[in-house]
Structure 1
Amino acid sequence: MTCLQTKITTYPALPIVDISPLEKLILFKVLDCAEIDGGLELYTDTGPMNPIVVSRRKLMEALDTSDQAKESLLKRFVRERVLSILPAEDPDPESVVFIDLSEFPWQFVVQDIITRSSTARELVVIQWISDPSQRPDTFGASVSLITENGVFYATSEDLLADFRKRDQALASGTPNGDGAPRPHIDSVVVPPDNPNNTVDALMMAERFVAGFEDDEAQEGITDILAGLRAAIRRERLRPVLLDALKELRSAAIGFRDDGYRRAPHLSVGNEAVNMLSAFLLTAERIIAEAEGQIHD
């Protein structure tokens, strides 16, 4: 059996004042954490733990504490997916509760903290995975950037593949008829392939307008650039959002089919079934429009 070694380091530290008791309890169970100068550092030399085990008393104390995160996603997850399946009759406060975070990874807890925080803007996560054998095919790394806008992730293989694309782009552009190098080739500005042509067009427009940034005769350049750059960020997210919607559609179909198998008496008049059917219809329409299957 392969015994992988996993090490995770993150920066900067998360402000303690922005972390709720429940979030702190969960993070300390998932990772090794340290409080330093008003911040919470997240790290581990053994990999994140899942599922985690907490006592019912500590969980309820953290959940019932009045704090700024009373409507946090983590609290909702614990109430709806953990407490709802626990026996309610005469519970032992010292009994243990197993919490499976497969559907709510610790990165989502961090993202919720950053979204509420007035000072924290991002958390960088660097992870190494290796095998004691140290064979080339048994180790790798990944990097994540967690912001209020999303959790962005890439493996070392993803990055190497991108570097190879850039290298190929440079190699194919080197000859210039007479063998002289082509001008204006810079590996830093060679973007990775993007299937969204709108992004390419917006990037070309942004580079064109940026050429007038120092021209005092031109007005409104700063606002135009800000708008273009915001549009580029939104368009880059569209494929990610579409993939997420497809996954939600698959999950909803699975839940619906499982519900029919477990309770064949469910009918169209059932409110939950109606809501699920409405969501599926909307999802199908949005996916079809995004993939060009529906035209105005």
Structure 2
Amino acid sequence: MTDYASPTVVQTSIPKADMTPLERYLLARIFDEDDEGETVFLSSCGSPNDTLEMPLGELRAAFSASQGIGSLALDLVAVKLDEWQGLADGDEVQLDLSMKSYEFVLQDIVKRSPVLNRIEVVTSYTCTKMRRDGFGGAAMAITAGEVRFKSTDDILNDFRTEDDAQPGEVFATFAVHSLLRLSEDAVRCQLPGIIETDPELGVAVDEVTAADIRAACTQVAEVSDLADERGFAEYKAAVLAIRLAKERQALA
């Protein structure tokens, strides 16, 4: 028997202030939650849970604490609480999210967040016995307006479409290769080392907020000129291409 799993990482740290108590309560049961101070990191080493078991009293409390902030999670749980009116707070209930995945919770968070413009999620598909239908991965980009998804199968299909469109001329057009992406998560990872080497800064890591990082990245992007870096990379790529061509000719 082959067992399938889909380990998942929500690449974007989620500010606690942007979540309702109900959303955080649900997400902490869909994923494993690591507290990062002002944010939480969500991941699942097996697969995200789509059937949540919990004491009804806890769910009712999270629901009540989230009133006044509209969300799809609130609407979904309201329907279930109406069905469970006759149950006591100590009763265990099961919330089925198999038909309504966690993306809708994350999208509501992006919609109201003053610092997030997207949440990125990466999933790996694996299995205990290697099979074509159980191995691969997917990436998801969640914005206020849409949820974009692409699997490794989609990528391979894109390659096939490109090859079919230009038979025998796979390299008829030049591609553009991304060299730099200023990641706010990567910037946060730099903080401990910088602060440790310069204690006179007088700022602790947890005092640097997500808004501080967002503003800093925006300012750096505005004043940075990557022309020199790009030109140097283009030069190195050209030199390497010449060397590869020479090696290929030598083997001919």
1:85 maps to 83
Q: Tell me if the contact between 1:170 and 1:187 (Cα under 8 Å) persists in the aligned partners.
A: no
Q: Distance in 2 between matches of 1:54 and 1:84?
A: 16
> Would you say 1:10 and 2:10 are equivalent positions?
yes
Q: 1:136 to 1:71 in 2, by over 3 A?
A: closer
Q: Tell me if the contact between 1:130 and 1:138 (Cα under 8 Å) persists in the aligned partners.
A: yes
2:219 maps to none
Q: Report the TM-score, using the length of structure 1 for normalisation.
A: 0.55
Q: Distance in 2 between matches of 1:138 and 1:53?
A: 27
1:96 maps to 92
Q: Distance in 2 between matches of 1:188 and 1:172?
A: 20
Q: Tell me if the contact between 1:52 and 1:98 (Cα under 8 Å) persists in the aligned partners.
A: yes
Q: Distance in 1 between matches of 2:104 and 2:6?
A: 20
1:122 maps to 118
Q: Tell me if the contact between 1:166 and 1:187 (Cα under 8 Å) persists in the aligned partners.
A: no
Which moved further from structure 2: 123-132 or 110-119?
123-132
Q: Distance in 2 between matches of 1:71 and 1:135?
A: 43
Runs of 5+ unmatched residues, structure 2: 178-252
Q: Tell me if the contact between 1:142 and 1:155 (Cα under 8 Å) persists in the aligned partners.
A: yes
Q: 1:37 to 1:171 in 2, by over 3 A?
A: farther
Deviation at 1:166, TM superposition (A): 2.1
1:72 maps to 71
Q: Report the TM-score, using the length of structure 2 for normalisation.
A: 0.64
Q: Deviations over 1:195-249 (max 9, x none)?
A: xxxxxxxxxxxxxxxxxxxxxxxxxxxxxxxxxxxxxxxxxxxxxxxxxxxxxxx
Q: Deviations over 1:68-96 (max 9, x none)?
A: x622111011102x11221x34x321101
1:161 maps to 157
1:196-215 equivalence runs, <5 A: none
Q: Tell me if the contact between 2:2 and 2:129 (Cα under 8 Å) persists in the aligned partners.
A: no
Is the partner of 2:7 in helix, strand or coil? strand
Q: Distance in 1 between matches of 2:99 and 2:77?
A: 11
Q: Distance in 1 between matches of 2:11 and 2:150?
A: 17
Calculate the aligned-residue CA RMSD, in Å. 2.2
Q: Deviations over 1:90-119 (max 9, x none)?
A: x32110111111232111000000001010
1:146 maps to 142
2:174 maps to 186
Q: Tell me if the contact between 2:12 and 2:121 (Cα under 8 Å) persists in the aligned partners.
A: no
Q: 1:188 to 1:165 in 2, by over 3 A?
A: farther
Q: Distance in 1 between matches of 2:133 and 2:69?
A: 45
Q: Distance in 2 between matches of 1:28 and 1:37?
A: 15
Q: Distance in 2 between matches of 1:125 and 1:98?
A: 25
Q: Distance in 2 between matches of 1:97 and 1:12?
A: 30
2:102 maps to 106
Amino acid across the alignment from 2:38: G
Runs of 5+ unmatched residues, structure 1: 175-180, 190-296
Amino acid across the alignment from 2:75: R
Deviation at 1:173, TM superposition (A): 4.7
Q: Which has the higher contact order (CA 8 A, sep 6+)?
A: 2
Is the partner of 1:24 in helix, strand or coil? helix
Q: Distance in 2 between matches of 1:9 and 1:66?
A: 26
Deviation at 1:163, TM superposition (A): 1.7
Deviation at 1:20, TM superposition (A): 0.9
